[in-house]
Amino acid sequence: MSILDSQGRIFGKINLIDALVILIILLIVVGGGLRVALGLEFVHRADLIEMVVRVEAPVVRKEFAERLTPGGAIRPARAVEDGEILSVDLHPPQARYLTTGDFLEPVDPQDYARVELEFKGMGEIYSNSYYLEGERIFLGEEISLEAGEVFLRATVMEVKPFE
């Protein structure tokens, strides 16, 4: 008796592809069960460090910018845990131009401000990348931040360990 018959069944009973699919599903279920039972995590909290992220938002309505205060909670939009705002600096807004030199939008300094903000969060710093609350961030990347009722998009300017 051969192991595989002409229809691809093992010992004439189970199709080989079906057996492989069932084996893969069982391995995933057993691996997930062991991970939960043993309390394993993909990212160990002990490996995370406190880090400071400095961001800049070029045009923010002043009424929203003034709600950002040191000591307040802030977090990247997809993060689970809040970070802490360390400092907030308000400056005159930057005019936004297209590459042709035309205005993208007019900016009234009475109503808008440029916000430079530093906040502290948990993450990892590697030689060529940064992870903030499990999300990879890059210098120069625009990220979404939530601080209470305020939502803003800001550019990452600097990432460093908290001292």
Q: Please tell me the pTM assigned to this model.
A: 0.64
Q: What is the pLDDT of residue 101?
A: 64
* pLDDT at residue 120, as a whole number: 92
Distance CA 91, CA 114 (A): 5
In a shared domain, residues 143 and 105: yes
Sign of the dihedral through C-alpha 39, 44, 45, 47: positive
Domain count, the chain: 2
Kindly give the parts of the chain with pLDDT less than 70. Answer: 1-4, 8, 10-12, 39-46, 95-99, 101-106
State residue 109's pLDDT score. 75
Residue 2 lies in a domain: no
Q: Please give the residue range of the domain that contains residue 125.
A: 45-161
CA distance 8 to 144: 52
